[in-house]
């Protein structure tokens, strides 16, 4: 559905969800992740940025760097996404099931950073659920390696170097190492 608004967004969510599933599958043994968990990571990762539907195109598709005010608007996509997900969970009576928590966590915490510098909650380390740490690595890699309205795509090597240089600070070490 996202391709109706922005073709690249549709491609991004497809790619990043498969990256996330690959990372999760390699973490499965050490983190006791079930096959169901792996499938829900694949299924729900595309919804990580669902809150962006509430961001005005003037901000979302701006062909240059966002100013401070625009950036503050952009960051609200996480809390708006959580609101949308909560409404869907309520509407479809999904309750607090195992899979609903995976969905919530991916949407709510995919911009959190290990050192607490992420948004919107400033979570640190293991306070960030594993599915969110997985989605963060997949999301950032694909965002860097794809062209955006505000910048050219990075080379694969440059994107890998960024992840590698920031593992343990911004990104989960194990998730990055597995992805690389």
pLDDT single digits (tens) 95-132 = 777 789 999 999 999 999 999 999 999 999 999 999 99
What integer pLDDT is reported at residue 5 of this predicted model? 53
| Tens-place pLDDT, residues 70-85 | 999 999 999 999 999 9
Taking residue 69's Cβ as centre, other Cβ atoms within 10 Å add up to 9
Residue 29 confidence (pLDDT) above 70: yes
Residue 152 appears among annotated catalytic residues: no
Local confidence band at 39 (pLDDT 50, 70, 90 cut-offs): very high
Can you tell me the distance from the alpha carbon of 171 to that of 51, in angstroms, rounded to the nearest whole number?
A: 22
Q: Which helix (H) or strand (E) holds 7?
A: helix 7-27
Cα-Cα-Cα-Cα dihedral sign, residues 61, 65, 70, 74: positive
Q: Distance of CA 101 to CAs 105, 107, 131, 156, Å?
A: 6, 10, 10, 32
Closest CA relative to residue 50, chosen from 87, 15, 22, 19? 87
pLDDT score of 2: 45
Q: Compute the mean pLDDT over every residue in the chain, rounded to the nearest whole number.
A: 93
Catalytic residue among 26, 52, 62, 65: 52
For the segment 153-177, what is each residue's pLDDT rounded down to a tens digit? 999 999 999 999 999 999 999 999 9
Residue 10 has pLDDT above 80, yes or no: no
Q: How confident is the model at residue 6 (pLDDT cuts 50, 70, 90)?
A: low
């Amino acid at each position: 559905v996202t391709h109706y608004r922005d073709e690249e967004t549709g491609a991004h969510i497809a790619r990043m969800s498969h990256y996330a599933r690959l990372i999760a599958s390699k973490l499965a043994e050490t983190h006791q992740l079930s096959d169901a968990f792996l499938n829900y990571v694949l299924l729900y990762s595309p919804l990580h940025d669902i809150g962006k539907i509430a961001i005005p195109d003037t901000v979302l598709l701006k062909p240059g760097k966002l100013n401070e005010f625009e950036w503050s608007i952009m960051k609200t996509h996480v809390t708006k996404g959580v609101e949308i997900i909560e409404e869907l969970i309520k509407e479809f009576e999904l309750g607090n099931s195992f899979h609903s928590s995976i969905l919530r966590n991916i949407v709510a915490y995919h911009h959190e950073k290990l050192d607490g510098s992420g948004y919107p909650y400033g979570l640190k380390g293991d306070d960030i659920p594993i599915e969110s740490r997985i989605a963060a690595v997949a999301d950032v890699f694909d965002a860097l390696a794809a062209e955006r309205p505000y910048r050219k795509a990075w080379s694969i090597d440059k994107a890998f170097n960024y992840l590698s240089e920031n593992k343990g600070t911004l990104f989960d070490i194990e998730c990055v190492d597995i992805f690389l």
